[in-house]
Amino acid sequence: MSEAYFRVESGALGPEENFLSLDDILMSHEKLPVRTETPMPRLGAFFLERSGGAETDHAIPQGSKLELPLWLTKGLFDNKRRILSVELPKIYQQGWRTVFSADANVVDLHKLGPHFYGFGSQLLHFDNPENADISQCLLQGFEEHEMGCLWRPAQGRLWNHGGCWGDWKPKETRRCQ
């Protein structure tokens, strides 16, 4: 046995992230903007500047804008939006999508967010009207990046990209998932 343990691979491009995947855990901890659709008692303990204070039992009022990690947002979201409504982070909005589809390789994904594709795929859970466009954009961008991976082996930026694929190593023939 040459290795102490084997990493669990990311499932973020599929329907759900893998529970034991370190990449997915880190990805799922990234925050996204939400709006509360119902008062939330006691959540104010984690958001002291928003909280109603101890008298209201640290309630967060309805209509507050917060940033919550993806895992928590998924847990609280329902398709009737009674608890939360989710906003798209800027880099997945129309403006950025246009830039991205013009030429995916121009955009520095690592700066935008280290888990661009995985996080973007999981965003589709929130029934946004722009979902069709987002998934199209992600797919296209990924194809271009993968092509770039094959045809531009020397470019430092792509290899250091990291992202949701883990580290892309030039020597490995293993394809990104």
> Which residues would be at the binding site for other proteins (CB under 8 A)?
2-7, 22-23, 25-26, 29, 42, 46-47, 69, 72
Min dist CB 165 to other proteins, Å, is: 14
> Which helix or strand (DSSP H or E) is residue 134 part of?
helix 131-151
Indicate the residue among 50 and 144 with the shorter CB distance to other proteins: 50
Task: Report angle CA 154, 139, 32 to the nearest 5 degrees.
Answer: 100
Min dist CB 72 to other proteins, Å, is: 7
Q: How far is CA 117 from the centre of its chain?
A: 7
Q: If we measure between CA atoms, which residue out of 80, 5, 73 comes closest to residue 40?
A: 73
Min dist CB 21 to other proteins, Å, is: 10
Indicate the residue among 1 and 106 with the shorter CB distance to other proteins: 1
For residue 11, give every residue at least 6 positions away whose Cβ sits within 8 Å of its Cβ, in sequence order, or none: 17, 18, 21, 24
Indicate the residue among 15 and 46 with the shorter CB distance to other proteins: 46
Indicate the residue among 66 and 134 with the shorter CB distance to other proteins: 66
Q: If we measure between CA atoms, which residue out of 115, 128, 16 comes closest to residue 75?
A: 16
Min dist CB 151 to other proteins, Å, is: 26
